[in-house]
Amino acid sequence: MTSTHPIQQLDTERLRQHVADQLVRARERTALLTDAVDEHDLVRQHSRLMSPLVWDLAHVGSQEELWLVRDVGGREPVRQDIDELYDAFRHARADRPALPLLGPAEARGYVRQVRDKALDVLAASALSGHRLVDHGFAFGMIAQHEQQHDETMLATHQLRSGPPVLHAPDPPAASAGPLPAEVLIPGGVFTMGTSTEPWALDNERPAHQVHVPAFFLDTTPVTNGRYLEFIDAGGYAEPRWWSQEGWAHRQRADLSAPRFWRRDGSGWLRTRFGVVEPVPPDEPVVHVCYHEAEAYARWAGRRLPTEAEWEKAARHDPATGRSRRYPWGDTDPGPDRANLGQRHLRPAPVGAYPRGASPLGVHQLIGDVWEWTSTDFHGYPGFSVFPYPEYSQVFFGGEYKVLRGGSFGTDQVACRGTFRNWDFPIRRQIFAGFRTARDARPEELA
């Protein structure tokens, strides 16, 4: 039994409006993130891990021009001469500040011009008839791309030094009441990935059956408070909790706590978008790399979940056997279901989103923090490139670990139960945390 995605129920006019809304929403966020700082901050590099903000801005326009203006629309290029500058595969992030990039005013003018043409193309498109535009796919891909760069730009803001320039209300308080530490996910087959979600990217496809043995999963992401126990127990000084590769990295990078933390007497402070504050114990830990997550899990007598385990916990409905779009069902996330979309500039305390829980009672799988899984990034069985190999295929292999669920910095258009993110296991500037799992013992299943 397959469900119909809300997009598939829209007539062409409504679909066009929906697409335009997503593009406008993305641009409002891009404007907020780039207008918040002065010209100097836009063009300079805040970390070798990141592009200058003004590169992200024009790159967003460049991709929109390539796919919507030229490819879908068959229109004349706005600026063909800059394609190469904004090709993410030509220049490493560290090298981008040295390029002859468009300045802030030029970049803003460029993305505006491209957007005008793209909206023209949208108005003329039937949004059906070939795969690139069916259900508005290419437009949805571009809205997702811009929102993904908005999350990257938010990470650049976190790396920037200086007084705070971004402000947002705090997330809701915990309201779920006492929660069990872990939830049993029964063994059996479930449907992983999707063949029906209209804006799903190639790496989420196709839907396929996966057998997942029974396992236990943490009810919530691991909190700062729990992570502090690992630090206090000398976790960073004990090679036995770390993989060989992880320990080598811990030593080389001199890791001793999550990124942006520092000791303050007997306690800990963290810096969050320019605000220095005590580390809140009930919030999911964020800015830890894969190796730290793995070491914590081993210290706790547990392990990280596989990607399939994570998705089964997030999507499988034991009552119907069907996989849902989200833990709570098929409806899009709202502010009461998940901490997404930069609505709050921090993860919410655990237990803050009881309405976002899965049928089996797993909380905060969507939003708050990306969750490291133990799985390397590969194509699913039956994978086929669409629309271009550089979206995901070139990253397949053993170098990247899959992250799931999205963070407070992720927009809902780029977040769903099937969405896959990936990064190097040493990365900490992303909004990533984790939860742990363990195998179920036979006597626990009787």
- Write out the binding residues: 59, 93-96, 145, 149, 423, 427
Q: What distance in Å separates the CA atoms of residue 130 and residue 132, rounded to the nearest whole number?
A: 6
Location of structure tokens 């127990």: 233
Maximum separation of any 2 CA atoms in the chain, in Å: 67
Query: Annotated binding site for Fe cation, which residues?
Result: 59, 145, 149
Q: 185 and 439 in contact (C-beta within 8 Å)? A: no
User: Within 10 Å of residue 175's Cβ, how many Cβ atoms?
Assistant: 11
Instruction: Give the H/E segment covering residue 293.
Output: helix 290-299
Instruction: Give the H/E segment covering residue 427.
Output: none
Q: What distance in Å separates the CA atoms of residue 134 and residue 141, rounded to the nearest whole number?
A: 12
Give the phi and the psi of residue 193 in degrees, each rounded to 5: 75, -175
The count of C-alpha atoms lying within 13 angstroms of the C-alpha of 73, restricted to the half-sphere facing its C-beta, is 23
Q: What distance in Å separates the CA atoms of residue 83 and residue 241, rounded to the nearest whole number?
A: 46
Residues 6+ apart with CB under 8 A from 7: 15, 18, 135, 136, 198, 199
Task: State whether the Cα torsion 383-422-151-149 is positive or negative.
Answer: negative
Tokens for 162, please give them: 């200086």
Query: Annotated binding site for gamma-L-glutamyl-L-cysteine, which residues?
Result: 93-96, 423, 427
Tokens for 153, please give them: 């730009």
